């Protein structure tokens, strides 16, 4: 307590002499006046110090004083207070008392919004996110909210207001709760779950495409996206048969509802169900009343199925012109690249894949495709069979880039690397052509790309 005595002494000397006392809660000031202001400052200081030391038992009485008497004095009242109350919840064994402390914790966040909700860095939506996180962790059974729907709604409010500025934590928590609610009520919650995936996944994609390759936050977003995609894929909510069962009978009745049709188109695209008759029907109605990227993409998919590639390319380029999100433009360019691949036009396929990467550096599939083009269309780059094998070097270069761009494609990339590495040119054959290990080599022909000799 020696340090606290010194702090209190300094406070006493630095304050002007006053003849009255009044609490901040009563006069609206930060600290109050006179002896009450000294009491506020001293307990604020001790609360902060004890909390840093994780001595929550000693911090609690100080917190109670500043929270009750000078709630406007500092954000630390609420930051430290949340720690203190959470610790009390964890240690309390009586369910009724535990619920009472939980209610106090929730009110603490409400009061923080009241007094500090306009803070530029930690605004009311930041506070609501912290409140939701503690609700998820500590909500007692007596609240009868096993799906934590209250927190789910709070997180939705944050996303609606913060949009692309929403933190990864909030996006992950929202989708986690959406998955939980869906598992509890698959038929009743399916539409919301599908919409949540579209929203959360789209926001993460946009955020990733805006970050530099060396941004320290990029791996966090990539990991979050991979986790969300895995949960969505394993949920069973969006297989083609399920989607047809849910939406097949609704298209005709909603053929004039562009929002409904947009949702259907997005879901079918995400679920790789773009050969469904329901998808084509929704695309045709949407393109008729309100042409968009989604409707053009749907008509392109129908054209691809019919092997009308020229018409498909026209629709896909229309879709890119309509599209505003770079992550979606990247996906469309990738589809164009696959069409040119199927048309046996590797140069145009590579150009389209490179455009896909320019829109979204995390598009690992585009790197995979470029590597596959090099490995597949290498017959005409040289009359020399050994030189043709050098295409496998640049193919592996692309597959290595794919792993760095998107961990989700690492498995496919490794399979391709393991498949083609054994076909690298032999050292003695390279020696006879005056090519040595470690030197820079340009793979000839349409590939025309530099690499390092293996």
Instruction: Name the pLDDT band for 4 (thresholds 50, 70, 90).
Output: low
Q: What is the pLDDT of residues 314-367, one digit of tens each?
A: 999 999 999 999 999 999 999 999 999 999 999 999 999 999 999 999 999 999
Query: Quick one: CA dihedral 210, 164, 261, 181, positive or negative?
Result: positive
How would residue 10 be classed by pLDDT, with cut points 50, 70 and 90? very low
Residue 12's pLDDT band, with cuts at 50, 70 and 90, is very low
The pLDDT of residue 14 is above 60: no
pLDDT > 90: percent of the chain? 80
- CB 421 within 8 Å of CB 355: no
DSSP letter string, 63-117: HHHHHHH-TTS-THHHHHHHHHHHHHHHH---HHHHHHHHHHHHHHHHHHHHHHT
Q: Which among 173, 170, 171, 165 has a CA at the least distance from the CA of 198? A: 171
Model pLDDT for residues 375-425, shown as the tens digit of each residue: 999 998 999 999 999 999 999 999 999 999 999 999 999 999 999 999 999
**Residues found in the chain:** 454
- Between the alpha carbon of residue 221 and those of residues 159, 195, 215, 362, 447, the distances in Å are 16, 20, 11, 11, 33
Residue 285, pLDDT > 50, answer yes
Q: Rounded distance, CA 207 to CA 224, Å?
A: 12
Average pLDDT over residues 21-49: 94
Half-sphere exposure of 119 (CA within 13 A, CB side): 17
Percentage of the chain exceeding pLDDT 70: 96
Element (H, E) at 235: helix 218-235
């Amino acid at each position: 307590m020696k340090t606290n005595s010194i702090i209190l002494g300094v406070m006493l000397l630095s304050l002007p002499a006053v003849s009255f006392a009044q609490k901040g809660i009563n006069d609206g000031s930060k600290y109050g006046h006179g002896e009450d202001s000294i009491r506020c400052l001293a307990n604020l200081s001790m609360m902060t110090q004890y909390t840093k030391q994780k001595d929550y038992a000693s911090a609690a009485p100080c917190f109670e004083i500043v929270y009750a008497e000078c709630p406007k004095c500092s954000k630390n009242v609420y930051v430290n207070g949340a720690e203190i109350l959470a610790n009390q919840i964890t240690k309390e064994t009586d369910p009724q008392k535990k619920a009472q402390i939980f209610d106090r914790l929730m009110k603490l966040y409400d009061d923080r919004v009241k007094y500090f909700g306009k803070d530029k860095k930690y605004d009311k939506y930041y506070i609501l996110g912290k409140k939701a996180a503690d609700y998820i962790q500590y909500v007692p059974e007596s609240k009868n909210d096993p799906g934590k729907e209250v927190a789910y709604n709070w997180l939705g409010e944050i996303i609606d207001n913060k949009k692309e500025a929403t933190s990864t934590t909030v996006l992950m928590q929202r989708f986690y709760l959406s998955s939980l609610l869906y598992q509890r009520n698959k038929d009743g919650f399916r539409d919301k779950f599908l919409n949540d995936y579209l929203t959360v996944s789209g926001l993460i994609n946009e955020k990733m495409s805006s970050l530099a390759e060396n941004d320290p936050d990029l791996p966090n977003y990539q990991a979050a996206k991979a986790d969300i995609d895995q949960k969505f894929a394993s949920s069973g909510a969006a297989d083609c048969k399920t989607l047809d069962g849910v939406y097949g009978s609704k298209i005709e009745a909603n053929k004039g509802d562009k929002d409904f049709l947009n949702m259907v188109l997005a879901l079918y695209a995400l679920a790789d169900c773009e050969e469904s008759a329901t998808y084509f029907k929704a695309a045709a109605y949407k393109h008729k009343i309100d042409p968009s990227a989604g409707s053009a993409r749907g008509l392109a998919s129908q054209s691809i199925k019919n092997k009308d590639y020229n018409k498909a390319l026209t629709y896909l380029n229309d879709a890119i012109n309509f599209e505003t999100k770079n992550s979606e433009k990247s996906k469309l360019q990738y589809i164009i690249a696959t069409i040119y691949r199927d048309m046996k036009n590797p140069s145009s396929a590579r150009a389209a894949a490179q455009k896909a990467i320019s829109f979204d550096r995390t598009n690992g599939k585009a790197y995979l495709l470029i590597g596959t083009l090099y490995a597949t269309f290498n017959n005409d780059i040289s009359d020399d069979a050994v030189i043709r094998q050098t295409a496998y070097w640049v193919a592996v270069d692309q597959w290595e880039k794919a792993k760095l761009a998107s961990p989700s494609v690492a498995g496919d990339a490794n399979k391709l690397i393991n498949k083609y590495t054994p076909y690298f040119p032999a050292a003695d054959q390279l020696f006879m052509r005056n090519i040595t290990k470690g030197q820079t080599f340009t793979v000839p022909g349409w590939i025309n790309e530099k690499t390092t000799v293996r």
